[in-house]
Amino acid sequence: MRSRRPPVFLITAGVAAGLALAMMGNLGLLDAAQLRRGVLNTTEFVRGLFPPNPQPLPTLLGATLETLQIAYVGTVLGVAGALPLALLATRTVFGPGVTGPVRLLLAGVRTVPALLWAVVFVVAFGLGPAAGAMGIAAYTLGYLGKLLYEVFEGVDGEVVDAVRSVGCNRAQLTRFALLPEAANGILSQLLFVFEYNVRASSIMGFVGAGGIGFHLLGYLQLLQYRNLFTALLLTLGVVIAIDYLSGRVRRMVLPPAPAA
């Protein structure tokens, strides 16, 4: 006879749902009056967006360009730091005495969100896109560093051992085994992080770190919803365009399916 196990799944799901309900109460999401107000306000807000106002478009295009530059420069600087650190964090190449501290450093950098890094750099560099680019760079370093050491450690151990066992040093091992074997993985993560950074750059302006975010926040605070809508549409268009382009690059360069 089959033994009857306690319905662990049901109990877990029940507890999770109960917790969520209790917290929703705390957050005011179960308050009927507040919910009704929310719906009404949203409808009014959405109605206020139409029609988008084309007048600030020239200014916004300039800001969008700045956003893209923040994302690009931040990504490039971040990658330049992340690649060597990721190698130092790869356990198949370095011992725990090196990988441990480097991983700790990457994890530390990663705990601070990009926007907070931007605040730090605004304090250091003053208001403007330089702080935004540095904020993106810092976050990219921590985040991409982790993604890349995972890519490096995913390289077939037999290949790494085979090349290492000819008697080469770590730099040669990197050049002749790790980088070529991991190239597709690296490129894939780079594109992913760049897409992410374009989104992150568009809100850098919230803390005075440049780009279109400055205008997004300004229109919101001044209740200029029609201008806001133009800025939102522009941002959305750019994000979609970048995703599309990076998808094209992906398909062009990377194999369509994992090779058998």
Q: Which stretches of the chain bind other proteins, using CB under 8 A?
A: 156, 158-159, 161-163, 165-169, 171-172, 175-177, 180-181, 183-184, 259
In the complex, least distance from residue 98 CB atom to other proteins, rounded to whole angstroms: 18
Between 110 and 250, CB nearer to other proteins: 250
163 vs 232 by CB, closer to other proteins: 163
The nearer residue to other proteins, 88 or 178, going by C-beta atoms, is 178
Q: How far apart are CB 120 and other proteins at their closest, in Å?
A: 36
DSSP sequence for the chain: -------HHHHHHHHHHHHHHHHHHHTTTT-HHHHHHHHHHHHHHHHHHPSPP-TTHHHHHHHHHHHHHHHHHHHHHHHHHHHHHHHHT-TTTS-HHHHHHHHHHHHHHHHS-HHHHHHHHHHHH-SSHHHHHHHHHHHHHHHHHHHHHHHHHTS-HHHHHHHHTTT--HHHHIIIIIHHHHHHHHHHHHHHHHHHHHHHHTTGGGGT-SSTHHHHHHHHHTT-HHHHHHHHHHHHHHHHHHHHHHHHHHHHHS-SS---
Residue 169 C-beta: closest distance to other proteins, Å? 6
Q: Which is nearer to other proteins, 19 or 162 (CB)?
A: 162
> Closest distance between other proteins and the C-beta of residue 151, in Å?
14
